[in-house]
Structure 1
Amino acid sequence: MDFHCHLDLYPDAKQVYIEALQRTEFVWLVTTSPRAYAATSRVLAATQKFFISPGLHPEVADKKHGELDMLLSQMETCTGVGEIGLDGSARYSQHFELQTHIFKSVVGNCARLGGRVLSIHSRAAAEEVLNILDANPGFGTAVLHWFTDSPSLLQRAAESGCWFSVGPAMMESGNGRKLAVLMPRDRVVSESDGPFAKVRGAHVMPWEANTVAIKLSEAWRVSKDDASIALKSNGLRLIELLMANVCHGSAIWRHPLSASVGS
């Protein structure tokens, strides 16, 4: 399962999509802008294995902020939102105020709509992300993608009920492994973050997301099988949150695996 993938941005996206249909149980395809979501939804069909969500990535906030109203409208018929969030790193901090306006608007809309599942970018901005989430009770479920901030903020996020998506590239770094040890093991799911994430110079593919179980087993000091079972169980629970009466166009979409959650 892959709970954070920019599949539409692989150079050969259609071929990756076809192969992923054969090799994965589930892919959450996050988009970087509302127009990208609309275009991707036309080209790559949502199936029982693919969930496609609207987003507005903080790295493009200065270029895409005019699409915010489109995003808020798209959220009406989609129970997942992503990629959204904040980026306080030096490269993007000059637009932090604009990012914050967008993120507050999205999280507030989630609360208004009765809750959504969010795939959240929080690089160098986890405290601000958590403050906004805390200010909007009822927003839904937060999945912090590739968390890189401090252990104390990770603990705060965990205590607030956040989930974490972790990929092979994150576990290549010492900091990533250190943080993974501290994550609540019943709220960790696998991700690829492809095509942006790379391991040994190669793009991580959607069907490689679950290989993170190897490094997680080392961090958690459990067997690879136990880590894989935990990721599968967590993934099914998160799918249940994402897939309850999800609308793609006029069709009500439910993942076949969701029926087995809790059984």
Structure 2
Amino acid sequence: MNIVVLVKQVPGTDNVKMDPVTGVMIRSGKDTIINPLDENALAEAIAIKNSHENVKVTAVSMGPESAMKAIKEAIAMGADGGVLISGRAFAGSDTIATAKAIAAAIRKLGDVDLILCGERATDGETGQTGAMIAYYLGIPVATYVSAVEVKEGGVIVKRTVEGGFERVEIPFPVMVTVNKDINEPGFPTLKGKLKAKERAVPVYGPAELGLDPAELGLKGSPTRVVKVFSPKLSRDTIMKKADGTTGPVEEMMKFLAGKEAI
């Protein structure tokens, strides 16, 4: 059984920076982490590996060279290997261009039974990429999953839906996006860190994936950020002092009525 886990390197929550000219996120900062929900996906893949025979877990990430850190950390956590999708051609990719590249990398890995990832990333919060990858691969997708049970030929997943849960049986291959309720991620071991240090991780560019550079990066991204700005909060304060009459109260009532607050 082959499992692919998608691990995205994201800025620390307090370190998100945007390029005001291009409208894309700056990902060159040193303060980066694995997307928290992808850690849940990785922990679930490792749990499946530890409870079943002949299971291989491969971590896949797309980003700058610094994203190799996310792959190495995934291997230290228990993944068997990893692949990094990287190159200038991928810079500025929206969810569509990103999904095309990751789907191409998964196809290059051969027969994959189960793909796991977080339901969304903390930097973009779109929750679109997992479903788009499934579309480009032509496989079913289950979203908002809080439990995965592997059975012969497929999985039974527990999905969080409005008002409760639903259980769905899906055959392999399948994409599953998980939420934080699925498990509690663990920590890398010393043995895992040593394995990660020694393990070679291939880097795929457009040529290795057989992709046209025109389909990637800003050129291949139909999504456009028109303007990036920080909202300015301002309030006009009107002070009324009590003067022993009903005047200030009457003026306040007129103000509230004008705002349709009463």
Give the structure-2-normalised TM-score. 0.29
Of the two, which has the highest radius of gyration?
A: 2
- When normalised by structure 1's length, the TM-score is 0.29
RCO greater where, 1 or 2, for CA within 8 Å and sep 6 or more? 2
